[in-house]
Structure 1
Amino acid sequence: MSPQWRSGTDLEPIMDQKLVIIDTDAGIDDAQAIMMALAAPGMRIMGITCCFGNTDVDNVCQNVLRVLSICQHTQIPVFRGSVGPLVAATKAVSDHFGTDGLGDVLDEDPQWKEKIQTEHAVNAMTRLVAEHPKQVTLVALGPLTNLALAIRLDPSFPLNLKELFIMGGNMEGKGNVSVCGEFNFVMDPESAHVVLEEYLCPTHIASWEYCCRNKLTWEFFEDLINQDTPAGRFMKKITSSCWAYSKEAMLSKRDVYFGPGFVSYDAYAVAACIDSSVVTESILSAVHVELQGTLCQGMMAVDQKNMLKKDHLVSVMKTCDLTKFSKLLLASLRQPCV
């Protein structure tokens, strides 16, 4: 029987910590981001909810369990969530991080299903937030399907959130999987639209361009993955055969818009959640996710003139303190096993 975890008395002595739920599609950059959150002393991860995206949801669940095991945080509950987008047929998952999301270098745990909570991710998400209204920060690192379903299940859910951090969308109409769209939003445009129209809690977006414009050097990446710790060795292994972490393979692809460099996409959203001063400049703006057209579906329009006359504005990150961000990345792989 799957273990069941309940919040409550075990949270009461640590109310000074930030309560966080991470929603993820668990590719390599998600793994890095989760490790960053685990290493942050001010963070209390209440649960990790899984969604399709970089790979299918079963692989996502296994990947999250692997990260928690390496970092010895297996007490954190993991919930299986959406297997496909809200409206459209399920699209082929990306092989950007390998077919399993972690570089296709790891063996399967035959007992992994027994370690996943029986409660569905969306139910767990709404329950945990209802139990701690205005106290929980939600960090969304994949397609936003679980979040869209959560508001349909419980319309009060986003009102009870303290804040929302999203890695996804784009600022300039530049796409990475379509002409104008970013991967997480393109994988489920309708869910991205629902979230950015109906979630009225404080919302912070680390867009694709933000991540790429604040890239790090490949020399830093080499230093990062050569940390002699369990987490460091794990990260070195999962990036070893992945073309997305090959300097030579990525040079031509990133030169088009942003020039060469190492980008750990999802870690930028988690870093902002941990320390708001990591973001040195942001844009407060209305945003809208386009649902029409073959070229623009899933594109996030940043409406700085508020021509849409929206009351709810979101914070779109623009520049990053790379010194602070680098320290958080290094700390994520240097963390002691507890």
Structure 2
Amino acid sequence: MAEKLLVIDTDCGVDDAQAIMMALVAPGVRLLGITCCFGNTSADNVCRNVLRVLSVCDRTEIPVFRGAMSTLVATPNLPISHFGTDGLGDVLEDSQPDAWRTQIQGEHAVNALIRMVSENEGQVSLVALGPLTNLALAVRLDEELPKKLKALYIMGGNMEGKGNRTICGEFNFVMDPESAYIVLEEYLCPTYIASWEFTCRNKLSWDFFDALVSQDTPAARFMKKITSKYYCRDAVTRRGVLFGQGFVSYDAYAMAAAIDCSVVTESVLCPVRVELQGALCRGMMALDQTHTLGKQHCVAVMTACDTEKLATLLMTALDQPRGARDSQTARL
């Protein structure tokens, strides 16, 4: 099988970390680089978080690039408190808080994204896990970029008008609606979307989560720590009210689809558009299943997945660094 080339664009929070770890161990997958964008926290914190994840997994050779620090049109209210002000649960101590600056690549994330895709034309799948600002800027600099992609996988948007950031809007799209609009209008490559409702409707059990973070590996211990404050089976959340209790690693769904297309068992193929107006609907993604808009480009909006395969990918993702268990056993 041909090697799969991935580039990840992320606003690294807890679920982004889970998705990144999934990509690091996927067989036949090569991660070319990680581009960072504001979202769950500031762009600086996102860079530091990505480097923390790579360090835990002993994969610091992967280049990390700092990108958009705010939206195209307006400045969002930061910090966001989804996973603490630092994006990883506000539980990590750092004796050298500025050391990450020397580890980040000097090239801007948008330029790096264009370069990595152009150097591997037709081979790169781009997995977008945060606000789509870097992608919107990239297509403004290189309008041919979407034609050079093999595929685009997005975690974001809605398929039922239910939201987690607003009544009708999902976090990533609401954080920068103009960028989401540009991407879904101008990226005419094969596009696959894991919406918020899709992830919630394909949730895993809290018992699985307990087993996931109880593995005796550095990655699992790291994940248990950063989820300790914000992942709770008894918490009353909008997700729980709308879809019932369960463990949802939002970004992992898009990553799983990029790694193994058989994880997605059902999808709707149709044009979509992001709403930019309205007090309640700004940032919402609308599905045009009757082709009212007259758009030619259709995207695959995921509706169901093989949760057993997803669970296996998540469990394997926390078995890092590779060989950690074997080395521990050998010492015993």
3-state SS, counterpart of residue 244 of structure 2: coil
How far does residue 218 in structure 1 lie from its aligned partner after superposition?
0.5
* Equivalent in 123, 131, 135 of residue 111 of structure 2: 123
Corresponding residue number in structure 2 for 1:333: 318
How far does residue 273 in structure 1 lie from its aligned partner after superposition?
0.4
3-state SS, counterpart of residue 284 of structure 1: strand
Corresponding residue number in structure 2 for 1:186: 174
* Equivalent in 287, 293, 306 of residue 302 of structure 1: 287
Corresponding residue number in structure 2 for 1:86: 72
User: Residues 336 and 114 of structure 1: is their aligned pair in 2 closer, same or farther, counting only changes over 3 Å?
Assistant: closer
CA contact (8 A) 2:164 2:238 kept: no
CA contact (8 A) 1:91 1:187 kept: no
How far does residue 16 in structure 1 lie from its aligned partner after superposition?
2.3
CA contact (8 A) 1:98 1:104 kept: yes
- CA distance in structure 2 between the partners assigned to 1:135 and 1:276 by the alignment: 16
- CA distance in structure 2 between the partners assigned to 1:19 and 1:309 by the alignment: 33
- CA distance in structure 1 between the partners assigned to 2:141 and 2:17 by the alignment: 28
Q: 1:259 is matched by which residue type in structure 2?
A: G
1:149 paired to 2:134: no
3-state SS, counterpart of residue 224 of structure 2: helix
3-state SS, counterpart of residue 286 of structure 2: strand
Q: CA RMSD in A?
A: 1.1
1:24 paired to 2:33: no
Runs of 4+ aligned residues of structure 1 deviating over 4 Å after TM superposition are: none
Write the deviation string for residues 46-85 of structure 1: whole angstroms up to 9, x where unpaired.
0000000000000000000000000011000000000001
- CA distance in structure 1 between the partners assigned to 2:304 and 2:76 by the alignment: 34
Structure 1 unaligned segments of length 5 or more: list them: 1-14
1:139 paired to 2:105: no
1:170 paired to 2:168: no
Corresponding residue number in structure 1 for 2:275: 290
Structure 2 unaligned segments of length 5 or more: list them: 324-332
Q: 2:171 is matched by which residue type in structure 1?
A: F
- CA distance in structure 2 between the partners assigned to 1:217 and 1:294 by the alignment: 35
Corresponding residue number in structure 2 for 1:6: none
Corresponding residue number in structure 2 for 1:97: 83
- CA distance in structure 1 between the partners assigned to 2:48 and 2:142 by the alignment: 28
- Between the two proteins, what is the percent identity of the paired residues? 66
How far does residue 292 in structure 1 lie from its aligned partner after superposition?
0.5
1:205 paired to 2:190: no
3-state SS, counterpart of residue 36 of structure 1: helix
3-state SS, counterpart of residue 73 of structure 1: coil
3-state SS, counterpart of residue 22 of structure 1: strand
3-state SS, counterpart of residue 221 of structure 1: helix
1:50 paired to 2:36: yes
Q: 2:253 is matched by which residue type in structure 1?
A: Y
Corresponding residue number in structure 2 for 1:279: 264
3-state SS, counterpart of residue 170 of structure 1: coil
- CA distance in structure 1 between the partners assigned to 2:257 and 2:165 by the alignment: 25
Q: 2:206 is matched by which residue type in structure 1?
A: W
Write the deviation string for residues 99-123 of structure 1: whole angstroms up to 9, x where unpaired.
1000111123431100000000000
How many residues align? The count is 321
- CA distance in structure 1 between the partners assigned to 2:120 and 2:28 by the alignment: 17
